[in-house]
Structure 1
Amino acid sequence: MLVGWKPDRESDIPLHYQISRHIRNKITCGDWPVGTKIPSQRWLADEFGVNRSTIVMALDELTADGLLHGNRGGGTVVTGLCDHPGSPPPPDWISYVNSGVQSSNIPTVQEINRAEFRPDVIRLGTGELAPELLPQEAMRTVLQALSSETMPLGYAEPKGSASLRQFISQHVETYGIRAAPSSILIVSGALQALHLISIGLLHRGSTIFLEKPSYLYSIPIFHSAGMKLTGIPMDRHGIQAALIPKYRKQYNGALLYTIPSFHNPTGTVMSRERREQLMQVCHYEGLPLIEDDVYRDLWIDEPSPLPLKAADSSGIVLYLGSLSKTVSPGLRIGWIIGPEPVVDRLADIKMQTDYGASSLSQAVVEKWLSSGLYQQHMENLRQQLRHRRTIAVKALEQFLGDYADWEVPKGGFYIWVRLKRELPLKALFAAALKAGILLNPGHLYEGENNRHIRISYAFASLEDLETGIFRLSVLIKDMSNHFETNKSEE
């Protein structure tokens, strides 16, 4: 809410007065309307780099002026403006905010989204490539090549650029998927694909099956569309497909969402046998699947088995692909492959929401796929990820071997670290953030999971990976010892 401003310590104006004046401006300019709950004193103190007593002085001054009001246990809210007597009240924006159809992110995700842009934080949970892993030189080559051509500055057709869809058709054929361009829809990343599916194919109250744990639990896309999420347990081979008939009978699931290759968050690769079983069960149950395959090309040791879509002879799989995890999240380009009536429907919904993905980004992706640069980049990237994985695993073994265990992933970004004893991960998350470490705790992916942490080796620098895991280990050891001491005293 306040990122980008700091009090000036060189100024003759007291720090508390600078802060109160800044907050006053936020209120009087309408940025913080009546009813806005302002951040906690601790958060403000950390954000501004001052003592908590300084924040208390600033807020007391604003409270005395009638601009703020503190509620016991309910935080501090904006209560008034310096308007002329008799002026009409402002719109009650907070009631609008609370009435919106789209659900808010859970508080931990909101905190992660804010903290990811703090330069003093080591991002141990971030699921994207580090800046130094992004293909800057190759991207310059692509952009230079495009600059000598007629630039696509207008809208693309509803399903996306016809030539790009042709190249995607050729690209996925290397995975065993046969898809005509007419069965492909260009979307602004896999997240938009899920949003389009939720509002374009399902009715409110539908039940979505997914792996437990799953990335979907951390995002409100399906919840906002009125859907219910039901998790099906996993083992080391992937989702336990044999359980699907039981769950289908009990919950009447509308479709199943799965990440079979380098699963988020566990890193699991679904075995070939399990994939065959899953397809057989879903075909028998008449249960459509969403196959999220955005991590497929991030293999390190060996390619994962062929996609579920490669064995789809009856059109039950909606296949999601993207370059966000491999080339650039900033391109915001992905694709859905499915039966033509479904793709037509989703294309119509997409035209209603954004009138098509960026034509320029589509042209860039086409160059990547048509020039051979993509495969060259992936060969180099796999070497870099292999080295990063080694560094992360060594640090975990050195600093956390007595307190946690894990499976070494065969690709992707993530190590699903299992603590040997349960800890209050919300408290650990807060303590880690205070220590400059940003985590993705297990409860983001599975209810009250207090046993797991998702560690990413893709984003933090090599030095920060080691430093971050060491600092995390200190917190985990201290917290574990604290609980062990309390238990022995009972």
Structure 2
Amino acid sequence: MTEQIRTGQWPNGTKLPAQRHLALTFGVNRSTLQEAIDELKADGILSSKVGSSTYVSNDSWNMLLKQKQPNWQKYIEASIHKPNYQTIQLINEFEQDDSIIRLSTGELAPSLLPTAQIQASFQQLQLDGKSIGYSSPQGSLNLRAAICNYLTKRGITTAPENICIVSGGLQALQLIAVGLLETGSIVFQEEFSYLNSIHPFQSFGMQMHSVDFKSQDKEIFQRRRGKRQGIYYAIPTLHNPTGRIWSFEKKKSFYAMCQSLQLPIIEDDVYFELSFEALSPPLKSIDTTGQVLYLGSVSKTLSPGLRIGWVVAPSPVIKRLADIKMQMDYGSSAFSQEIVSYWLTSGLYEEHIEKLKVELKRRAELMENLLEQYFKEIASWESSKGGFYIWLKFNAPIITTDFFMNLLNQKVLINPGYIYEPKDTYHIRLSYSYTSDKELVEGLYTLYSEAVQAIEKNREFN
């Protein structure tokens, strides 16, 4: 810990991570960590402020560092962008540890990525100096034309000028936040939402309002929105984290309601290709007024490392988003755009998707069999309709930060429901897309054992 301070990794004023995190990072138990903290406090190197937080002190020899360093902690705490929840920071950190069983990861296992085929496709690309230089603000014209053709199979008719290439769906949300909405805007979402686990809107002063999945009461939207700008973020197909799929009747009635309210819609459709069943058309296919901003991506299907997604929207919106994107990164990778364009136009992409769905369905069935074996008396769930996830609901409120940390100490990583709805203590988003069969068996048994203990403690407490 003193080395972290001496080398400037923990500058003056730094708030130390939670003790559970530090103990896990340093590989010691919490009593040992507490002894070290007490000793450093006695030396004036650490200090406590109001509450239980511990900070790097500005006293004693640490004052020497103050003469050399700015107080970066003040800069961090005053910055615009909101930090992630500590649980999400831990998830992001420990997902890089190969010894961890990742029961909730929202990406494909390396073995499911078409690595050899992507590498071979480099030999088929017809590259010239222009194609690997900076692309136009909206992205490669060849790729946008290929996406137009591809989306016709989804029932969407569009043109290249109505598409902007982005570096994944998350960047699309960030561009929409800074390019289309004013501070104080209302972003509506479902009760459990992916947006609660990231902060593309919150960090720019937008307010998040959750609406019950079944609710389509215009008064709710009118009352909460008032006179402020608003937008609705929806994942009608294979919702993250619940895995739900809206019926076409719900899509039509929802679109009609938003149209009557002049409430724009963000339709996040990055999972649709992974459905195990035939799907109804997306919201964008029935959009007659340019009200739906449609998001797609190859991150969940081909490779997250390519960082290629797209937004389909009216021309003025696309030009605005493209202008801001050019200010941010001067365009997505030219090589990635060429690869995705080739895969979309050669038939390789759809061929890969069909094989991928077969394997994902097999994995989903394995997970459901294991859930039936271990969890049927203590939890409930719906069979997966595709994608990556099963939304597991326990009968007792046991999913807490302590539960998360206990599993992490046993080398099992989960996505607890409270990162999607802060008050939730019942759910876990389980993923079958990343772990091996052996890891899935081991990880779910560890989860079951921990859940049984937590349920017993909950029963005793009540």
Provide the TM-score with structure 1 as the length reference. 0.88
Q: CA deviation at 1:126?
A: 0.9
Q: Which residue of structure 2 aligns with residue 93 of structure 1? A: 72
Q: Is 2:192 the counterpart of 1:216?
A: no
Q: Which residue of structure 1 aligns with residue 236 of structure 2? A: 260
Q: Is 2:275 the counterpart of 1:299?
A: yes
Rounded Cα–Cα distance in structure 2 between residues aligned with 1:143 and 1:246: 52
| Most deviating of 90-99 and 276-285 | 276-285
Q: Is 2:111 the counterpart of 1:132?
A: yes
Amino acid in the other structure paired with 1:200: G
Q: CA deviation at 1:106?
A: 1.5
Q: Is 2:395 the counterpart of 1:420?
A: yes
Q: Which residue of structure 1 aligns with residue 12 of structure 2? A: 34
Q: CA deviation at 1:485?
A: 2.8
Match runs of 1:284-323 below 5 Å:
284-300=260-276, 302-323=277-298
Out of 44, 47, 56, the position equivalent to 2:25 is 47
Q: CA deviation at 1:461?
A: 1.3
| Most deviating of 351-360 and 247-256 | 247-256
Out of 385, 388, 393, the position equivalent to 1:410 is 385
Secondary structure, in 3 states, of the residue corresponding to 2:365? helix
Structure 1 residues 255 and 55, CA, compared in 2 at 3 Å: closer, same or farther? closer
Q: Which residue of structure 2 aligns with residue 8 of structure 1? A: none
Secondary structure, in 3 states, of the residue corresponding to 2:342? helix
Rounded Cα–Cα distance in structure 1 between residues aligned with 2:416 and 2:318: 35
Q: Deviations over 1:421-450 (max 9, x none)?
A: 222522221221122211111111123011
Q: Is 2:300 the counterpart of 1:325?
A: yes
Q: Which residue of structure 1 aligns with residue 258 of structure 2? A: 282
Out of 324, 328, 351, the position equivalent to 2:326 is 351
Secondary structure, in 3 states, of the residue corresponding to 2:154? coil
Contact 2:12 2:62 in 1 (8 A): no
Q: CA deviation at 1:58?
A: 5.2
Q: Which residue of structure 2 aligns with residue 67 of structure 1? A: 45
Q: CA deviation at 1:88?
A: 3.2
Q: Which residue of structure 2 aligns with residue 14 of structure 1? A: none
Unaligned runs of 5+ in 1: 1-22
Rounded Cα–Cα distance in structure 2 between residues aligned with 1:129 and 1:332: 14
Number of residue-to-residue matches in the alignment: 458
Q: Which residue of structure 2 aligns with residue 150 of structure 1? A: 128
Rounded Cα–Cα distance in structure 2 between residues aligned with 1:192 and 1:248: 29
Instruction: Give the structure, 1 or 2, with the largest relative contact order (CA under 8 Å, sep 6 or more).
Output: 2
Match runs of 1:148-187 below 5 Å:
149-150=127-128, 152-187=131-166
Q: Is 2:208 the counterpart of 1:229?
A: yes
Structure 1 residues 84 and 189, CA, compared in 2 at 3 Å: closer, same or farther? closer
Q: Is 2:372 the counterpart of 1:397?
A: yes
Q: Which residue of structure 1 aligns with residue 181 of structure 2? A: 202
Rounded Cα–Cα distance in structure 2 between residues aligned with 1:85 and 1:430: 37
Q: Which residue of structure 2 aligns with residue 189 of structure 1? A: 168
Structure 1 residues 260 and 109, CA, compared in 2 at 3 Å: closer, same or farther? same
Contact 2:396 2:426 in 1 (8 A): yes
| Most deviating of 150-159 and 93-102 | 150-159
Amino acid in the other structure paired with 1:181: P
Rounded Cα–Cα distance in structure 2 between residues aligned with 1:463 and 1:173: 40
Secondary structure, in 3 states, of the residue corresponding to 1:174? helix
Contact 2:45 2:62 in 1 (8 A): no
Rounded Cα–Cα distance in structure 1 between residues aligned with 2:301 and 2:65: 58
Q: Which residue of structure 1 aligns with residue 57 of structure 2? A: 79
Q: Is 2:343 the counterpart of 1:365?
A: no
Over the matched positions of the two proteins, sequence identity in percent amounts to: 42
Q: Deviations over 1:459-485 (max 9, x none)?
A: 111111111111111111111112223
Amino acid in the other structure paired with 2:46: L
Contact 1:28 1:82 in 2 (8 A): no
Out of 74, 91, 95, the position equivalent to 1:112 is 91
Contact 1:297 1:303 in 2 (8 A): no
Q: CA deviation at 1:150?
A: 2.7
Q: CA deviation at 1:42?
A: 4.2
Q: CA deviation at 1:153?
A: 3.2
Structure 1 residues 348 and 210, CA, compared in 2 at 3 Å: closer, same or farther? same
Q: CA deviation at 1:82?
A: 5.4
Q: CA deviation at 1:202?
A: 0.9
Q: CA deviation at 1:320?
A: 0.2
Structure 1 residues 486 and 59, CA, compared in 2 at 3 Å: closer, same or farther? closer
Q: Which residue of structure 2 aligns with residue 480 of structure 1? A: 455
Q: Is 2:350 the counterpart of 1:375?
A: yes
Q: CA deviation at 1:143?
A: 2.2
Unaligned runs of 5+ in 2: none
Out of 15, 25, 43, the position equivalent to 2:3 is 25
CA RMSD of aligned residues (A): 2.2
Q: Which residue of structure 2 aligns with residue 15 of structure 1? A: none
Q: CA deviation at 1:370?
A: 1.4
Amino acid in the other structure paired with 1:457: Y
Rounded Cα–Cα distance in structure 2 between residues aligned with 1:486 and 1:169: 58
Rounded Cα–Cα distance in structure 2 between residues aligned with 1:84 and 1:172: 61
Q: CA deviation at 1:56?
A: 5.2
